Chain A
Amino acid sequence: MPGKIKGLKCRECGRAYPADPIHVCEMCFGPLEVDYNYEVIKQNFTKESVKNGPPSLWRFIDLLPVEGPATVGLNAGYTPLVHAKNLGAQLGLDELYIKNDTVNHPTLSFKDRVVAVALTRAREMGFETVACASTGNLANSVAAQAAQAGMRCFVFIPAGLEAGKVLGNLIYRPTVVEVEGNYDDVNRLCSEIAAKYHWGFVNVNIRPYYAEGSKSLAFETAEQLGWKAPDQVVIPIASGSLLTKIWKGLNELHQLGFIDPVKTKLHGAQAEGCSPVATAFKRGVDFFKPVKPNTIAKSLAIGNPADGYYAIRATNESGGSMDFVSDDEIIEGIKLLAQTEGIFAETAGGVTIGVLRKLVKNGLIKKGDVTVAYVTGNGLKTQEAVSEFVGQPFRILPKLQSFEEGVPHAN
Protein backbone atom coordinates (compact mmCIF):
# COMPACT_ATOMS: atom_id res chain seq x y z
CA MET A 1 0.00 0.00 0.00
CA PRO A 2 1.45 3.39 -0.94
CA GLY A 3 2.41 5.78 1.83
CA LYS A 4 1.03 9.27 2.34
CA ILE A 5 4.11 10.87 0.73
CA LYS A 6 4.26 10.38 -3.04
CA GLY A 7 7.61 12.08 -3.27
CA LEU A 8 8.90 15.53 -4.15
CA LYS A 9 7.78 17.63 -7.09
CA CYS A 10 9.37 20.63 -8.78
CA ARG A 11 7.29 23.76 -8.20
CA GLU A 12 8.29 25.00 -11.65
CA CYS A 13 8.39 22.13 -14.14
CA GLY A 14 6.48 19.51 -12.12
CA ARG A 15 9.17 16.83 -12.45
CA ALA A 16 8.83 14.12 -9.78
CA TYR A 17 11.55 12.97 -7.40
CA PRO A 18 11.76 10.45 -4.55
CA ALA A 19 11.28 11.83 -1.02
CA ASP A 20 15.02 12.27 -0.44
CA PRO A 21 17.00 15.08 1.23
CA ILE A 22 17.11 17.17 -1.94
CA HIS A 23 15.67 20.58 -2.63
CA VAL A 24 16.47 21.66 -6.20
CA CYS A 25 15.13 20.22 -9.46
CA GLU A 26 17.98 18.75 -11.47
CA MET A 27 16.24 19.73 -14.69
CA CYS A 28 15.25 23.38 -14.27
CA PHE A 29 16.79 24.14 -10.84
CA GLY A 30 13.37 25.10 -9.45
CA PRO A 31 12.55 24.41 -5.78
CA LEU A 32 11.08 21.06 -4.77
CA GLU A 33 7.94 20.58 -2.72
CA VAL A 34 6.38 17.56 -0.99
CA ASP A 35 3.70 15.80 -3.01
CA TYR A 36 1.09 13.83 -1.06
CA ASN A 37 -1.22 10.90 -1.75
CA TYR A 38 -4.43 12.56 -0.60
CA GLU A 39 -6.44 9.42 -1.31
CA VAL A 40 -4.33 7.54 1.22
CA ILE A 41 -4.50 10.40 3.75
CA LYS A 42 -8.29 10.51 3.46
CA GLN A 43 -8.59 6.99 4.84
CA ASN A 44 -7.36 7.88 8.34
CA PHE A 45 -7.51 11.63 8.62
CA THR A 46 -10.82 12.80 10.06
CA LYS A 47 -12.07 15.51 12.38
CA GLU A 48 -12.36 12.79 14.99
CA SER A 49 -8.74 11.70 14.53
CA VAL A 50 -7.64 15.29 14.93
CA LYS A 51 -9.76 15.72 18.06
CA ASN A 52 -8.20 12.63 19.60
CA GLY A 53 -4.68 13.67 18.58
CA PRO A 54 -2.03 15.17 20.86
CA PRO A 55 -2.28 18.86 21.89
CA SER A 56 0.52 19.81 19.50
CA LEU A 57 0.99 20.32 15.76
CA TRP A 58 1.32 16.55 15.53
CA ARG A 59 -2.46 16.21 15.74
CA PHE A 60 -2.13 16.96 12.00
CA ILE A 61 0.64 14.42 11.38
CA ASP A 62 -1.34 12.96 8.43
CA LEU A 63 -0.68 16.17 6.48
CA LEU A 64 2.93 16.59 7.57
CA PRO A 65 5.87 15.10 5.61
CA VAL A 66 7.09 12.41 7.97
CA GLU A 67 6.70 8.69 7.42
CA GLY A 68 6.91 7.41 11.00
CA PRO A 69 5.77 8.81 14.34
CA ALA A 70 6.85 12.23 15.61
CA THR A 71 10.11 12.04 17.52
CA VAL A 72 11.24 15.66 17.90
CA GLY A 73 9.33 18.75 19.05
CA LEU A 74 6.49 16.79 20.59
CA ASN A 75 5.08 19.87 22.33
CA ALA A 76 5.38 22.36 19.46
CA GLY A 77 2.30 24.07 18.10
CA TYR A 78 -1.36 24.07 19.16
CA THR A 79 -0.93 27.59 20.46
CA PRO A 80 -3.92 29.71 21.56
CA LEU A 81 -6.19 31.44 19.06
CA VAL A 82 -7.11 34.48 21.11
CA HIS A 83 -10.33 36.36 20.40
CA ALA A 84 -8.79 39.84 20.58
CA LYS A 85 -11.85 41.78 21.72
CA ASN A 86 -9.94 44.78 23.11
CA LEU A 87 -7.69 45.24 20.10
CA GLY A 88 -10.66 44.54 17.85
CA ALA A 89 -12.67 47.26 19.58
CA GLN A 90 -9.84 49.75 19.06
CA LEU A 91 -9.56 48.89 15.39
CA GLY A 92 -13.29 48.48 14.77
CA LEU A 93 -13.30 44.71 14.24
CA ASP A 94 -15.77 42.34 15.90
CA GLU A 95 -14.09 39.09 14.96
CA LEU A 96 -10.36 39.64 15.33
CA TYR A 97 -8.22 36.72 16.46
CA ILE A 98 -4.53 36.52 17.29
CA LYS A 99 -2.81 33.22 16.55
CA ASN A 100 -0.38 33.48 19.41
CA ASP A 101 2.90 31.73 18.58
CA THR A 102 4.73 33.89 21.13
CA VAL A 103 4.09 30.97 23.48
CA ASN A 104 5.22 28.19 21.18
CA HIS A 105 7.31 25.41 22.69
CA PRO A 106 10.23 25.24 23.28
CA THR A 107 11.69 28.55 22.04
CA LEU A 108 8.73 30.94 21.78
CA SER A 109 8.44 31.39 18.02
CA PHE A 110 6.66 29.76 15.09
CA LYS A 111 10.00 28.27 14.05
CA ASP A 112 9.40 25.55 16.65
CA ARG A 113 6.81 24.16 14.24
CA VAL A 114 8.99 23.93 11.16
CA VAL A 115 11.97 22.67 13.14
CA ALA A 116 9.92 19.94 14.85
CA VAL A 117 8.97 18.65 11.40
CA ALA A 118 12.46 19.14 9.92
CA LEU A 119 14.28 17.32 12.71
CA THR A 120 11.77 14.47 12.88
CA ARG A 121 12.21 14.03 9.11
CA ALA A 122 16.00 14.44 9.29
CA ARG A 123 16.19 11.76 11.94
CA GLU A 124 14.08 9.29 9.99
CA MET A 125 16.32 9.95 6.97
CA GLY A 126 19.28 8.87 9.09
CA PHE A 127 20.96 12.22 9.74
CA GLU A 128 22.83 12.49 13.02
CA THR A 129 23.90 16.08 12.41
CA VAL A 130 21.61 19.01 11.71
CA ALA A 131 22.51 22.56 10.78
CA CYS A 132 21.02 25.91 9.93
CA ALA A 133 22.01 29.43 8.96
CA SER A 134 20.13 31.96 11.03
CA THR A 135 20.37 35.21 12.92
CA GLY A 136 17.72 34.46 15.51
CA ASN A 137 14.59 32.39 15.99
CA LEU A 138 15.47 29.54 13.64
CA ALA A 139 18.89 29.05 15.26
CA ASN A 140 17.34 29.05 18.74
CA SER A 141 14.81 26.43 17.76
CA VAL A 142 17.22 24.13 15.91
CA ALA A 143 19.75 24.32 18.76
CA ALA A 144 17.13 23.63 21.44
CA GLN A 145 15.34 20.81 19.65
CA ALA A 146 18.62 19.18 18.54
CA ALA A 147 19.76 19.24 22.18
CA GLN A 148 16.55 17.52 23.27
CA ALA A 149 16.82 15.01 20.43
CA GLY A 150 20.49 14.28 21.11
CA MET A 151 21.54 15.32 17.60
CA ARG A 152 24.79 17.08 16.72
CA CYS A 153 24.08 20.66 15.68
CA PHE A 154 25.86 23.40 13.76
CA VAL A 155 24.56 26.95 13.72
CA PHE A 156 26.03 29.42 11.24
CA ILE A 157 25.73 33.12 12.00
CA PRO A 158 27.28 36.26 10.54
CA ALA A 159 30.04 37.69 12.77
CA GLY A 160 29.07 40.71 14.84
CA LEU A 161 25.60 39.55 15.88
CA GLU A 162 24.30 40.95 19.20
CA ALA A 163 25.69 39.11 22.26
CA GLY A 164 22.20 38.18 23.50
CA LYS A 165 21.35 36.42 20.27
CA VAL A 166 24.60 34.44 20.30
CA LEU A 167 24.01 33.43 23.92
CA GLY A 168 20.50 32.28 23.05
CA ASN A 169 22.13 29.64 20.91
CA LEU A 170 25.22 28.79 22.97
CA ILE A 171 23.14 27.78 25.99
CA TYR A 172 21.98 24.66 24.11
CA ARG A 173 25.62 23.84 23.26
CA PRO A 174 25.51 23.50 19.49
CA THR A 175 28.63 24.32 17.51
CA VAL A 176 28.12 27.99 16.74
CA VAL A 177 30.15 29.19 13.78
CA GLU A 178 30.58 32.93 13.30
CA VAL A 179 31.40 33.63 9.68
CA GLU A 180 33.50 36.69 8.96
CA GLY A 181 31.69 38.42 6.15
CA ASN A 182 28.32 39.84 5.22
CA TYR A 183 25.01 38.02 4.78
CA ASP A 184 25.83 37.19 1.18
CA ASP A 185 29.07 35.53 2.24
CA VAL A 186 27.30 33.45 4.90
CA ASN A 187 24.66 32.46 2.37
CA ARG A 188 27.16 31.33 -0.20
CA LEU A 189 29.27 29.41 2.32
CA CYS A 190 26.25 27.62 3.81
CA SER A 191 25.05 26.63 0.37
CA GLU A 192 28.48 25.13 -0.35
CA ILE A 193 28.70 23.36 3.04
CA ALA A 194 25.23 21.93 2.57
CA ALA A 195 26.25 20.60 -0.83
CA LYS A 196 29.41 18.96 0.51
CA TYR A 197 28.52 17.49 3.93
CA HIS A 198 25.97 14.80 4.65
CA TRP A 199 24.04 16.88 7.17
CA GLY A 200 20.41 17.73 7.56
CA PHE A 201 20.63 21.43 6.75
CA VAL A 202 17.13 22.46 7.71
CA ASN A 203 16.79 25.45 5.39
CA VAL A 204 18.71 23.87 2.51
CA ASN A 205 18.43 20.14 1.76
CA ILE A 206 15.64 19.51 4.31
CA ARG A 207 13.77 22.63 3.22
CA PRO A 208 10.93 20.89 1.33
CA TYR A 209 9.98 19.08 4.58
CA TYR A 210 10.86 21.91 6.97
CA ALA A 211 8.64 24.42 5.15
CA GLU A 212 5.59 22.14 5.39
CA GLY A 213 5.55 22.60 9.17
CA SER A 214 4.08 26.08 8.63
CA LYS A 215 0.87 24.51 7.32
CA SER A 216 0.07 23.56 10.91
CA LEU A 217 -0.77 27.22 11.56
CA ALA A 218 -3.54 27.00 8.97
CA PHE A 219 -4.79 23.64 10.27
CA GLU A 220 -4.96 24.81 13.87
CA THR A 221 -6.62 28.09 12.93
CA ALA A 222 -9.38 26.30 11.02
CA GLU A 223 -9.93 23.79 13.82
CA GLN A 224 -9.98 26.49 16.50
CA LEU A 225 -12.54 28.46 14.50
CA GLY A 226 -14.81 25.40 14.44
CA TRP A 227 -13.60 24.02 11.11
CA LYS A 228 -13.88 27.23 9.22
CA ALA A 229 -11.37 29.23 7.22
CA PRO A 230 -11.01 32.89 8.24
CA ASP A 231 -12.21 35.65 5.90
CA GLN A 232 -8.94 37.56 6.24
CA VAL A 233 -5.45 36.65 7.45
CA VAL A 234 -2.46 38.91 8.06
CA ILE A 235 0.88 37.13 7.80
CA PRO A 236 4.42 38.47 8.20
CA ILE A 237 6.72 37.81 5.25
CA ALA A 238 10.39 36.90 5.63
CA SER A 239 11.25 34.17 3.11
CA GLY A 240 7.60 34.11 2.00
CA SER A 241 7.26 30.45 2.94
CA LEU A 242 4.89 31.00 5.89
CA LEU A 243 2.28 32.79 3.77
CA THR A 244 2.58 30.27 0.95
CA LYS A 245 2.16 27.31 3.28
CA ILE A 246 -0.80 28.77 5.17
CA TRP A 247 -2.51 29.05 1.78
CA LYS A 248 -1.56 25.48 0.93
CA GLY A 249 -2.77 24.24 4.33
CA LEU A 250 -6.19 25.85 4.04
CA ASN A 251 -6.67 24.47 0.55
CA GLU A 252 -5.63 20.98 1.65
CA LEU A 253 -8.30 21.08 4.36
CA HIS A 254 -10.89 21.96 1.74
CA GLN A 255 -9.63 19.26 -0.61
CA LEU A 256 -10.09 16.70 2.18
CA GLY A 257 -13.60 17.93 2.95
CA PHE A 258 -12.83 19.53 6.32
CA ILE A 259 -13.87 23.07 5.37
CA ASP A 260 -15.85 24.87 2.67
CA PRO A 261 -14.09 26.29 -0.43
CA VAL A 262 -11.42 28.69 0.76
CA LYS A 263 -12.35 32.33 0.28
CA THR A 264 -9.73 33.63 2.67
CA LYS A 265 -7.87 36.76 1.57
CA LEU A 266 -4.15 36.65 2.34
CA HIS A 267 -2.46 39.87 3.40
CA GLY A 268 1.35 39.89 3.51
CA ALA A 269 3.15 42.18 5.94
CA GLN A 270 6.71 43.45 5.66
CA ALA A 271 8.85 46.13 7.25
CA GLU A 272 9.52 49.18 5.10
CA GLY A 273 13.26 48.67 5.54
CA CYS A 274 13.06 45.21 3.97
CA SER A 275 10.04 45.00 1.72
CA PRO A 276 11.10 43.45 -1.59
CA VAL A 277 8.00 41.27 -1.84
CA ALA A 278 5.39 43.84 -0.77
CA THR A 279 7.00 46.44 -3.05
CA ALA A 280 6.82 44.11 -6.05
CA PHE A 281 3.21 43.25 -5.20
CA LYS A 282 2.23 46.91 -5.02
CA ARG A 283 3.90 47.50 -8.38
CA GLY A 284 1.83 44.68 -9.84
CA VAL A 285 4.78 42.49 -10.83
CA ASP A 286 5.64 38.97 -9.74
CA PHE A 287 9.41 39.36 -9.61
CA PHE A 288 11.14 41.35 -6.92
CA LYS A 289 14.37 43.25 -6.63
CA PRO A 290 16.67 42.03 -3.82
CA VAL A 291 17.35 44.65 -1.13
CA LYS A 292 19.84 45.23 1.68
CA PRO A 293 17.70 45.06 4.85
CA ASN A 294 17.59 48.05 7.18
CA THR A 295 14.87 47.54 9.79
CA ILE A 296 14.41 46.73 13.47
CA ALA A 297 12.37 43.70 12.38
CA LYS A 298 15.45 41.48 12.15
CA SER A 299 13.50 38.24 11.98
CA LEU A 300 11.92 39.46 8.72
CA ALA A 301 15.13 40.91 7.29
CA ILE A 302 15.56 38.65 4.29
CA GLY A 303 16.55 40.75 1.31
CA ASN A 304 16.35 38.04 -1.36
CA PRO A 305 13.57 35.73 -0.18
CA ALA A 306 13.42 32.23 -1.64
CA ASP A 307 9.61 32.07 -1.67
CA GLY A 308 8.93 35.71 -2.50
CA TYR A 309 7.63 34.87 -5.96
CA TYR A 310 5.32 32.15 -4.60
CA ALA A 311 4.05 34.47 -1.84
CA ILE A 312 3.05 37.03 -4.48
CA ARG A 313 1.34 34.33 -6.52
CA ALA A 314 -0.63 32.96 -3.54
CA THR A 315 -1.69 36.45 -2.46
CA ASN A 316 -2.91 37.22 -5.96
CA GLU A 317 -4.81 33.92 -6.11
CA SER A 318 -6.58 34.78 -2.86
CA GLY A 319 -7.50 38.31 -3.92
CA GLY A 320 -5.52 39.69 -0.98
CA SER A 321 -2.90 42.39 -0.62
CA MET A 322 0.53 43.27 0.73
CA ASP A 323 1.78 46.28 2.60
CA PHE A 324 4.69 47.48 4.73
CA VAL A 325 5.13 49.63 7.83
CA SER A 326 7.89 51.87 9.18
CA ASP A 327 9.97 51.07 12.26
CA ASP A 328 7.90 53.59 14.26
CA GLU A 329 4.70 51.85 13.20
CA ILE A 330 6.24 48.50 14.20
CA ILE A 331 6.91 49.78 17.72
CA GLU A 332 3.40 51.21 17.91
CA GLY A 333 2.04 47.84 16.83
CA ILE A 334 3.99 45.98 19.51
CA LYS A 335 2.77 48.39 22.20
CA LEU A 336 -0.82 48.30 20.99
CA LEU A 337 -0.97 44.49 21.10
CA ALA A 338 0.68 44.38 24.54
CA GLN A 339 -1.55 47.09 26.01
CA THR A 340 -4.82 45.72 24.66
CA GLU A 341 -4.33 41.95 24.73
CA GLY A 342 -1.43 41.38 27.12
CA ILE A 343 0.64 39.76 24.39
CA PHE A 344 4.26 40.90 24.09
CA ALA A 345 5.33 40.20 20.51
CA GLU A 346 8.72 40.56 18.89
CA THR A 347 9.19 43.03 16.06
CA ALA A 348 7.60 40.75 13.45
CA GLY A 349 4.40 40.90 15.51
CA GLY A 350 4.61 44.69 15.36
CA VAL A 351 4.80 44.43 11.58
CA THR A 352 1.69 42.24 11.50
CA ILE A 353 -0.32 44.53 13.79
CA GLY A 354 0.92 47.64 11.98
CA VAL A 355 -0.20 46.29 8.61
CA LEU A 356 -3.50 45.08 10.12
CA ARG A 357 -4.20 48.67 11.20
CA LYS A 358 -3.49 49.92 7.70
CA LEU A 359 -5.74 47.30 6.14
CA VAL A 360 -8.65 48.31 8.37
CA LYS A 361 -7.98 51.99 7.74
CA ASN A 362 -7.92 51.39 3.99
CA GLY A 363 -11.19 49.49 4.12
CA LEU A 364 -9.73 46.15 3.03
CA ILE A 365 -10.87 44.44 6.23
CA LYS A 366 -14.45 45.06 7.36
CA LYS A 367 -15.99 45.11 10.83
CA GLY A 368 -17.61 41.68 10.67
CA ASP A 369 -14.82 39.82 8.86
CA VAL A 370 -13.35 36.86 10.72
CA THR A 371 -9.75 38.04 10.76
CA VAL A 372 -6.68 36.20 12.02
CA ALA A 373 -3.37 37.98 12.62
CA TYR A 374 -0.35 35.70 12.94
CA VAL A 375 1.96 36.79 15.74
CA THR A 376 5.01 34.64 15.31
CA GLY A 377 7.56 35.40 18.03
CA ASN A 378 7.96 36.54 21.63
CA GLY A 379 8.86 40.11 22.56
CA LEU A 380 11.31 38.99 25.24
CA LYS A 381 13.63 38.16 22.35
CA THR A 382 13.77 41.68 20.93
CA GLN A 383 13.50 43.88 24.01
CA GLU A 384 16.14 46.27 22.66
CA ALA A 385 13.71 47.32 19.92
CA VAL A 386 11.24 48.83 22.40
CA SER A 387 13.37 49.58 25.45
CA GLU A 388 13.45 53.33 24.75
CA PHE A 389 9.72 53.59 24.12
CA VAL A 390 8.06 52.10 27.18
CA GLY A 391 8.77 54.75 29.85
CA GLN A 392 10.39 54.32 33.27
CA PRO A 393 9.15 53.00 36.63
CA PHE A 394 8.33 55.45 39.44
CA ARG A 395 11.21 55.46 41.92
CA ILE A 396 10.23 56.02 45.55
CA LEU A 397 11.56 55.57 49.09
CA PRO A 398 10.25 52.56 51.05
CA LYS A 399 7.70 54.78 52.84
CA LEU A 400 3.95 55.06 52.43
CA GLN A 401 4.18 58.83 52.13
CA SER A 402 6.70 58.54 49.34
CA PHE A 403 4.40 56.12 47.53
CA GLU A 404 1.38 58.43 47.89
CA GLU A 405 3.30 61.51 46.82
CA GLY A 406 5.44 59.95 44.16
CA VAL A 407 3.04 57.69 42.33
CA PRO A 408 0.07 59.18 40.46
CA HIS A 409 -3.37 57.82 41.36
CA ALA A 410 -2.02 56.01 44.43
CA ASN A 411 -4.93 57.33 46.49
Chain B
Amino acid sequence: MPSLKYRLGFPEEQIPRPIVYEIGKEYPVVTNIRGANVTETTGWMNLELTGEIVDIERAVEGLKQKGVQVDPIELDVIDG
Protein backbone atom coordinates (compact mmCIF):
# COMPACT_ATOMS: atom_id res chain seq x y z
CA MET B 1 0.00 0.00 0.00
CA PRO B 2 1.45 3.42 -0.93
CA SER B 3 2.94 5.75 1.64
CA LEU B 4 3.50 9.45 1.04
CA LYS B 5 5.51 11.88 3.13
CA TYR B 6 4.30 15.37 3.95
CA ARG B 7 5.45 18.44 5.82
CA LEU B 8 2.62 20.01 7.80
CA GLY B 9 2.53 23.54 9.12
CA PHE B 10 0.09 24.51 11.87
CA PRO B 11 -1.23 28.03 12.33
CA GLU B 12 -1.52 29.27 15.92
CA GLU B 13 -5.30 28.87 16.13
CA GLN B 14 -5.09 25.17 15.21
CA ILE B 15 -2.33 24.24 17.67
CA PRO B 16 -4.58 22.83 20.44
CA ARG B 17 -6.64 20.71 18.07
CA PRO B 18 -5.91 16.93 17.72
CA ILE B 19 -5.91 17.19 13.94
CA VAL B 20 -3.83 14.10 13.15
CA TYR B 21 -6.15 11.99 15.33
CA GLU B 22 -9.17 13.46 13.54
CA ILE B 23 -7.73 12.70 10.08
CA GLY B 24 -7.07 9.11 11.08
CA LYS B 25 -10.70 8.75 12.18
CA GLU B 26 -12.22 10.51 9.19
CA TYR B 27 -10.25 8.81 6.38
CA PRO B 28 -8.96 5.24 5.93
CA VAL B 29 -5.29 6.23 6.20
CA VAL B 30 -2.58 5.31 8.68
CA THR B 31 -0.93 8.38 10.18
CA ASN B 32 2.69 8.09 11.29
CA ILE B 33 4.43 11.11 12.85
CA ARG B 34 8.19 11.02 12.22
CA GLY B 35 9.34 14.42 13.40
CA ALA B 36 7.66 17.47 14.88
CA ASN B 37 8.15 20.69 16.77
CA VAL B 38 5.01 22.23 18.18
CA THR B 39 4.99 25.28 20.41
CA GLU B 40 2.19 27.46 21.74
CA THR B 41 2.24 29.66 18.66
CA THR B 42 3.40 27.54 15.76
CA GLY B 43 4.28 24.02 14.76
CA TRP B 44 5.53 21.74 12.01
CA MET B 45 5.26 18.01 11.59
CA ASN B 46 6.74 15.39 9.27
CA LEU B 47 3.87 13.01 8.65
CA GLU B 48 3.59 9.81 6.64
CA LEU B 49 0.20 8.80 5.30
CA THR B 50 -0.33 5.19 4.20
CA GLY B 51 -3.39 4.07 2.31
CA GLU B 52 -4.88 3.99 -1.16
CA ILE B 53 -3.73 7.01 -3.17
CA VAL B 54 -7.27 8.31 -3.50
CA ASP B 55 -7.74 8.16 0.28
CA ILE B 56 -4.39 9.86 0.92
CA GLU B 57 -5.40 12.66 -1.44
CA ARG B 58 -8.74 13.04 0.35
CA ALA B 59 -6.98 13.10 3.71
CA VAL B 60 -4.62 15.83 2.44
CA GLU B 61 -7.62 17.86 1.32
CA GLY B 62 -9.16 17.26 4.75
CA LEU B 63 -6.02 18.58 6.45
CA LYS B 64 -6.09 21.69 4.27
CA GLN B 65 -9.74 22.28 5.11
CA LYS B 66 -8.80 22.22 8.77
CA GLY B 67 -6.40 25.10 8.12
CA VAL B 68 -3.17 23.08 7.99
CA GLN B 69 -0.46 23.90 5.43
CA VAL B 70 0.40 20.68 3.60
CA ASP B 71 3.52 20.42 1.46
CA PRO B 72 5.60 17.62 -0.02
CA ILE B 73 8.34 16.64 2.42
CA GLU B 74 10.88 18.37 0.13
CA LEU B 75 8.97 21.69 0.50
CA ASP B 76 9.31 23.73 -2.72
CA VAL B 77 10.69 21.43 -5.38
CA ILE B 78 10.22 23.99 -8.12
CA ASP B 79 13.25 26.24 -8.45
CA GLY B 80 14.09 29.53 -10.17
- Residues of A whose CB lies within 8 Å of any CB of B are 12, 23-24, 27-31, 132-138, 156, 158, 183-184, 186-188, 190-192, 194-195, 203-204, 207, 238-239, 287, 289-290, 298-306, 348
Complex contacts, A29 vs chain B, CB 8 Å: 5, 7, 34-35, 46, 48, 73
Complex contacts, A137 vs chain B, CB 8 Å: 80
Complex Cα distance A300/B76, Å? 12
Our pick among B46, B71, B79, B80 for the contact of A304 (Cβ within 8 Å) is B71
**A-B contacts, 19 listed (Cβ < 8 Å):** A24-B73, A24-B74, A28-B35, A29-B34, A132-B79, A135-B80, A137-B80, A190-B77, A190-B78, A191-B73, A191-B74, A191-B77, A194-B77, A203-B79, A238-B80, A239-B79, A289-B9, A301-B80, A302-B76
- Contact yes or no, A187 B72, CB < 8 A: yes
- Contact yes or no, A238 B34, CB < 8 A: no
Known A-B contacts A204-B74, A304-B75; the reply to A27 vs B80 at CB < 8 A is: no
- Contact yes or no, A302 B73, CB < 8 A: no
CB of A287, distance to nearest CB on chain B (Å): 6
CB of A285, distance to nearest CB on chain B (Å): 8
Residue of A with least CB distance to B45 = A29
- Contact yes or no, A187 B77, CB < 8 A: yes
Binary interface encoding of chain B residues 51-68 relative to chain A, with 1 for a CB under 8 A from any of its CBs, else 0: 000000000000000000
How many A-B residue pairs lie within 8 Å, measured between CB atoms? 90
Complex Cα distance A160/B77, Å? 18
Complex Cα distance A348/B79, Å? 13
Complex contacts, A133 vs chain B, CB 8 Å: 77-79
Known A-B contacts A28-B34, A29-B5, A304-B71; the reply to A134 vs B42 at CB < 8 A is: no
CB of A25, distance to nearest CB on chain B (Å): 9
- Contact yes or no, B74 A138, CB < 8 A: no
- Contact yes or no, B35 A138, CB < 8 A: no
Q: Among the interface residues B4, B9, B74, which one has the most CB atoms of the partner chain A within 10 A?
A: B74
Q: Which 9 A-B pairs have the closest CB atoms?
A: A299-B80, A191-B72, A29-B46, A133-B78, A306-B75, A28-B35, A138-B79, A304-B76, A190-B77
- Contact yes or no, B74 A134, CB < 8 A: no
CB of A364, distance to nearest CB on chain B (Å): 26
Complex contacts, A194 vs chain B, CB 8 Å: 77
**CB contact list, B1-33 vs A, under 8 A:** 4-5, 7, 9
Q: Among the interface residues B46, B73, B80, which one has the most CB atoms of the partner chain A within 10 A?
A: B80
Complex Cα distance A191/B75, Å? 9
Complex contacts, A303 vs chain B, CB 8 Å: 76
Complex Cα distance A203/B46, Å? 19
- Contact yes or no, B77 A203, CB < 8 A: yes
CB of B42, distance to nearest CB on chain A (Å): 6
Complex contacts, A183 vs chain B, CB 8 Å: 76, 78
CB of A376, distance to nearest CB on chain B (Å): 9
Complex Cα distance A204/B44, Å? 21
Residue of A with least CB distance to B6 = A29
Query: Cβ of B69 < 8 Å from any Cβ of A?
Result: yes
CB of B63, distance to nearest CB on chain A (Å): 13
Complex Cα distance A31/B35, Å? 12
Complex contacts, A304 vs chain B, CB 8 Å: 71, 75-76
Known A-B contacts A187-B76, A302-B80; the reply to A290 vs B34 at CB < 8 A is: no
Complex Cα distance A136/B37, Å? 34
Complex Cα distance A133/B80, Å? 9
Complex contacts, A12 vs chain B, CB 8 Å: 35
Our pick among B7, B35, B75 for the contact of A305 (Cβ within 8 Å) is B75
- Contact yes or no, B79 A134, CB < 8 A: yes
Complex contacts, B76 vs chain A, CB 8 Å: 183, 187, 239, 302-306
Complex Cα distance A324/B52, Å? 43
Complex contacts, A136 vs chain B, CB 8 Å: 80
Complex Cα distance A117/B59, Å? 38
Residue of B with least CB distance to A29 = B46
- Contact yes or no, A290 B78, CB < 8 A: no
